[in-house]
Amino acid sequence: MHELPPDLIKTIVSQALAEDIGTGDLTTLNAIPSTAQAEAQFVFREPGVVCGLPLVEAVFAALAANLVVTRTIAEGSKATAGQTVATVAGPARGILTGERVALNLFQRLSGIATLAANYVAAVAATPARILDTRKTTPGLRVLEKYAVRMGGATNHRFGLYDGVMLKDNHLAILSQQGIDLTSAIQDLRTRVGPMVCIEVEVESAAAAAQAAAAGADMILLDNMHPAQLREAVVAIAGRARCEASGGITLDNIHAIATSGVDYISIGALTHSARALDIGLDAIADCRL
């Protein structure tokens, strides 16, 4: 599902506006006449994927009912440098007060979507699919995972509640309790049932083969170079899906994608995406 729930948008925008405005926009309220009208354009200063227009619309709708946002490009489309992607028109005070919150959300989500699109393009000639992770900004995960989808990549599990993943620390603690990898996987299957995906993090081809034999649905191959990934894929022998993760960049992702893995997860999609350069430019001498 690509759409963001309206009630969720309203909640996030309300919190963001309250954080920024507080008891009132001192500059705008004291410098700009209440009768002033204006129009402004959202302009991409660099190429990128447009993501966050529903948030932009919600920001201005929350500030004034007669603030009108008009899209000039579809959400998820690619914009060129210098392209106007939307306009906002109406009370000048509302435009000025909402400008920063709207841009913060728009720039952040467009940056994530653009980075995701770059990774998707880098593996386009391979069967591998790009996944995100849970390395997201607290409170904004739903927006950031939405942006990943707008960039053409795929969401991994949303939270701890919608999938099982035995990671290195889980396995270390289980080992301290005398529970080996095979027993841990088989016990989990009994507990969660056949419909829940069980994923296991491993660091060697031998551990990958053991996890596959024990019934893991997906195996995370952590911090392996392409030759090691190929060895692990062979060891798994189609018994589970394979996910490469760790140390992945645009420079090395094609080699990783050709190793035979099904998925490549990249935390940088959300934790290191650069905000896209987008401006809100007021149109001089506007008469509405």
Binding annotation: 100, 133-135, 157, 167, 201, 222, 245-247, 266-268
Q: Which amino acid is at 112?
A: I
Could you confirm whether 25 is annotated as catalytic? no
Helices (H), 140-267: 141-150, 168-176, 181-192, 205-214, 226-236, 253-257
For residue 284, list its beta bridge partners: none
Asked if residues 240 and 219 have their Cβ atoms less than 8 Å apart, the reply is: yes
Residue 233's alpha-carbon distances to 220, 221, 229, in angstroms, are: 11, 9, 6
Which residue stretches of 64-91 are H helix?
none
Q: Which residues are annotated as a binding site for substrate?
A: 100, 133-135, 157, 167, 201, 222, 245-247, 266-268
Would residue 135 show up in a list of annotated catalytic residues for this protein?
yes
| Residue 149 a catalytic site member | no
Q: Which of 45, 167, 191, 274 is catalytic?
A: 167
Active site residue 78: no
* Per annotation, catalytic residue among 71, 78, 100, 189: 100
144 is catalytic: no
Q: Amino acid identity of 71?
A: R
Catalytic residue (choose from 78, 129, 135, 230): 135
114 φ/ψ angles, rounded to the nearest 5 degrees: -65, -45
Candidates 99, 222, 231, 243; catalytic one: 222
Selecting among 201, 217, 231, 243, the annotated active-site residue is 201
Active-site residue set:
100, 135, 167, 201, 222
